[in-house]
Each structure stands twice: as C-alpha cells, then as structure tokens.
C-alpha cells in the first residue's frame, strides 16, 4: 500500500488533512495550530513531497522523518505533522480493521470521563452555565474562567485586590450552586503574575478546584515550578508547547500535575503517546487539550482509552461554533451559524459525564461530503484585548 495524495481541507475555522492510498483507504486528521492554519497548510504541502509514494503504515518512521528533516519547528509545523499523523493512524486502523486505541495496546477503560465547557461575561452567566452542566449530567466543568469571558473589545482594568477577590468569590458562588457534584477545572488564561497566582491559589483552595490551568504565561518553566511548589493545588499546563523535551522539562521541575497535551499540535497520536509515557514516569496525569472539532475530539478519545495515566477529557459543545470562536472572539461576524456535528459522520454521545469508546475502524468517523463548499474557510484575524492603558491583556 502506498500514499497517492495528501489534500488540505480548510473548513470553517478548522483545517483537516485527508490522505489517500492506492488501495482506496483514506485517513483524516486535524491541525490544532488554530491561529495559523494557513501556515500549517503550507507545511503539509511541503511534507506531501516526501510522503507521496511512501507506505502509510510506517507511522513512527514518517513522524521522525518529518520532525527531524528540517532545523525549524514551531506550532504551525507541529500542527501539520499532527494532522498527518492522525490521518496515518486512521488509515492503519482501517487496514488492520481495528480502532486506533486497539493498535496502541488496547483499552485501559470502558468509558471516558469528560468535562463540559462553560463560560460567561458575567458572574450570573457563569454560575448558570455550571448549574446547566450539572443538570445535563456532567461531573466536571472546564474552560471555567473566574475572571470571566468578557468581550475583547472592552478595555480591562481592576486593582490587584479586585482581580483576586472577585475571582475567588465567583468560585465560591459556583461551588455553593453546584455543591460537590461538579469538579471545577479553573482556566486562569495566563492572567496573573507568579506572586498573584500564589495568593489566588491559597484563597481559592477551600473551594477545592480540580486544578488551576495556566495561571501565568506558560513559557517560563521555572516560574511555573515556583508557583507549583508554593501552593496546595495541582497545576494544569502544556497546551501551548509541542515537543517531548519541553514536557520533560516541565515535569522534571515538578511544575505540572495535569499535562495538557494538544494532540493536534504536539505531534498527533504518536506525539501524545510519547508525552503520556513521560508523564507516567513522573506520576502525572494527562488531560488532552481540545478546543477544536469532532475530529480532534475523537483522536483525543483514542488516546484517553489507551493511556493508563489519563484523568479527564476536555469536551467542547459540538452543537455550535468552535470553542476558539465562542471564547476568543466577540465580534458577531466571527461567530458563524455552525453545527459542528454537520462536518462529520458521527459524534460519540455523552451520558452522565462519560463518553463511550469510539466505534469502528481507525478514528471511527469521516468528514461529510463537500465540507469545504458547505462551510467556507475564513482566516483568523489578529484581535486581542487591551488594558485601559493600551497594553496587552492576556485573556
């Protein structure tokens, strides 16, 4: 069996790769470099010159070849490798007539715990979303920003005391509204300095968050370790890094308890499996990052099924637009009337906060017909929030 073609499909706010073979098998994968999909698409087209004519089942060799063939990497390049890798695993599953998780060593669990995305521009909206998640049967909520998901067009200012105490009080209100029936995965979105994060963690500790995600900008592993070693709550981070060496540096510093592997950026299923093994050696758990489409979700589910040190899976609402659109942008022209389930042939149902293992061979889903024409692509614009003094606000 040989690869005959690689096609890039730009769909709404997503980028897919479809790989074709000479015996009719095809595979699909998704790129997670959502801010730079056009750059990632060009990287895929470069890798195509190598992959056409190759055996698609030599997945590890192709991963190493693409990863090491140039002296430059980065999110766009790794997003391209990730999409290709997922598509190759999809083909392998179809060839061997097995789900991908079976090829990874078999299942470690019968169903996969997920957390539901919540958000709100006001405290009332945020509490309401958490109560809704509980009524829907979820046992955990995530993307839960105690700093709110306010419009990026609004200039930001709070005093240090207001920022910390208002955020802590929102967590209090949520905990009182839902009791202990929901785990609260707090997404801090890099909004704090290390000193502020330490103060916040000690104040919010009594409400038992599941973890604190990205309290500071994730670039400085030593700063993240400083926080982790001075608080009593676990830190989740890793969605913005993409090499096994970066994750090893984080873990060796005891800077992370829940490793946020971006399966569609960190090297696909192959890369995520490597990172999970490193995390296991450090007694850390993985929480796959997933703000993307059902293709990404399904790839994550195969990792979650096969990896022993899995904690919980991020699950966006696939009945609406991409999470990156709903939570990152507030301009109405960016929020498209899209039902993500229309992009693919199957979405695993969620019941009582768990999703059953993916069914079928390979990933277990396909893109629907003519998705590019039905859901035209639009390039992401550069658009972020500012503080009242004109400086950049991380949100």
Catalytic annotation present for 202? no
What would the two tokens of residue 379 be? 């390039």
Q: What is the domain extent for residue 93?
A: 3-101
Check which CATH number belongs to the domain holding 88 and give it: 3.30.390.10
Q: Which of 75, 101, 127 is the last residue of a domain?
A: 101
- Give the pLDDT confidence score for residue 322 in this predicted structure: 66
Q: Which of 101, 134, 165 is the last residue of a domain?
A: 101
Residue 368 is assigned to a structural domain of this protein: no
Same domain, yes or no, for 49 and 96? yes
DSSP one-letter string for 332-360: GGGS----GGGTBS----EETTEEEPP-S
State what percent of residues in the chain have pLDDT above 90: 88
- Give the pLDDT confidence score for residue 338 in this predicted structure: 76
Q: 303 by DSSP, 3-state: which?
A: helix
Residue 254 is assigned to a structural domain of this protein: yes
Q: Say if CB 362 and CB 99 are below 8 A apart.
A: yes
Same domain, yes or no, for 127 and 273? yes
Nearest alpha carbon to residue 117 among 136, 134, 133: 133
Residue 385 is assigned to a structural domain of this protein: no
Same domain, yes or no, for 85 and 129? no
Same domain, yes or no, for 86 and 108? no
How do strand 183-187 and strand 392-393 relate by DSSP bridges? Answer: unpaired
Catalytic annotation present for 189? yes
Could you read off the pLDDT of 121-161 as tens digits, one per residue?
999 999 999 999 999 999 999 999 999 998 889 999 999 99
Same domain, yes or no, for 187 and 327? yes
Same domain, yes or no, for 97 and 164? no
Whether residue 62 is predicted with pLDDT greater than 50 in this model: the reply is: yes
CA distance 353 to 112: 8
Q: Which of 74, 101, 128 is the last residue of a domain?
A: 101
- Give the pLDDT confidence score for residue 324 in this predicted structure: 64
Could you read off the pLDDT of 205-226 as tens digits, one per residue?
999 999 999 999 999 999 999 9
Same domain, yes or no, for 236 and 174? yes
* Cβ partners under 8 Å of residue 298, min gap 6: 348, 358, 363, 364, 365
- The reply to whether the predicted model has a pTM over 0.85 is yes
Same domain, yes or no, for 57 and 125? no
Same domain, yes or no, for 208 and 74? no
Check which CATH number belongs to the domain holding 250 and give it: 3.20.20.120
Could you read off the pLDDT of 217-269 as tens digits, one per residue?
999 999 999 999 999 999 999 999 999 999 999 999 999 999 999 999 999 99
Residue 390 is assigned to a structural domain of this protein: no
If one counts every other C-beta atom within 10 angstroms of the C-beta of residue 75, the result is 22
Same domain, yes or no, for 144 and 86? no
Confidence of residue 334 (pLDDT cuts 50, 70, 90): very low
Residue 341 is assigned to a structural domain of this protein: yes
Nearest alpha carbon to residue 292 among 88, 16, 28, 6: 16
Same domain, yes or no, for 114 and 31? no
Residue 384 is assigned to a structural domain of this protein: no
Whether residue 337 is predicted with pLDDT greater than 80 in this model: the reply is: no
Residue 395 is assigned to a structural domain of this protein: no
Residue 369 is assigned to a structural domain of this protein: no
Cα distances (Å, whole numbers) of residue 369 to 21, 44, 319, 375: 19, 22, 18, 11
Same domain, yes or no, for 354 and 248? yes
Q: Average model confidence (pLDDT) for the chain? A: 94
Catalytic residue among 143, 289, 302, 318: 289
Our count of domains for the chain comes to 2
């Amino acid at each position: 069996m040989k690869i005959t073609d690689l096609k890039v499909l730009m769909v709404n706010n997503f980028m897919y790769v479809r790989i074709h073979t000479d015996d009719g098998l095809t595979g699909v994968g998704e790129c997670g470099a959502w801010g730079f999909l056009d750059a990632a698409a060009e990287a895929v087209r470069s890798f195509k010159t190598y992959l056409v004519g190759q055996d698609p089942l030599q997945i590890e060799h192709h991963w190493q070849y693409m990863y090491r063939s140039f002296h430059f990497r980065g999110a766009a390049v790794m997003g391209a490798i990730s999409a290709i890798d997922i598509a190759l695993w999809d083909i392998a599953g179809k060839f061997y007539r097995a789900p991908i998780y079976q090829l990874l060593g078999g299942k470690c669990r019968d169903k996969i715990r997920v957390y539901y995305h919540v958000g709100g521009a006001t405290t009332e909206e945020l509490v309401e979303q958490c109560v809704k998640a509980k009524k829907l049967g979820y046992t955990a909520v995530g993307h839960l920003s105690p700093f709110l998901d306010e419009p990026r067009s609004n200039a930001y200012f709070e005093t240090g005391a207001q920022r910390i105490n208002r955020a802590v009080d929102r967590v209090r209100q949520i905990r009182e509204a839902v009791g202990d029936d929901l785990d609260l995965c707090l997404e801090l979105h890099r909004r704090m300095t290390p000193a502020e994060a330490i103060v916040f963690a000690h104040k919010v500790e009594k409400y038992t968050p599941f973890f604190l995600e990205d309290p500071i900008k994730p670039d400085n592993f030593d700063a993240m370790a400083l926080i982790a070693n001075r608080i009593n709550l676990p830190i989740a981070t890793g969605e913005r890094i993409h090499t096994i060496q970066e994750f090893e540096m984080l873990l060796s510093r005891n800077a992370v308890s829940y490793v946020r592997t971006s399966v569609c950026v960190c090297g696909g299923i192959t890369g995520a499996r490597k990172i999970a093994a490193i995390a296991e050696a450090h007694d850390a758990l993985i929480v796959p990052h997933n703000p993307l489409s059902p293709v990404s979700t399904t790839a994550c589910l195969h990792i979650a099924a096969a990896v022993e040190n899995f904690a919980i899976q991020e699950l966006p609402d696939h009945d609406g637009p991409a999470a990156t659109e709903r939570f990152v942008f507030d301009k109405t022209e960016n929020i498209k009337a899209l039902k993500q389930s229309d992009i693919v042939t199957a979405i695993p149902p969620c019941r009582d906060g768990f999703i059953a293992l993916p069914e079928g061979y390979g990933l277990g889903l396909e893109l629907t017909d003519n998705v590019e024409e039905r859901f035209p692509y639009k390039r992401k614009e550069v658009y972020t929030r500012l503080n009242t003094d004109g400086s950049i606000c991380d949100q």
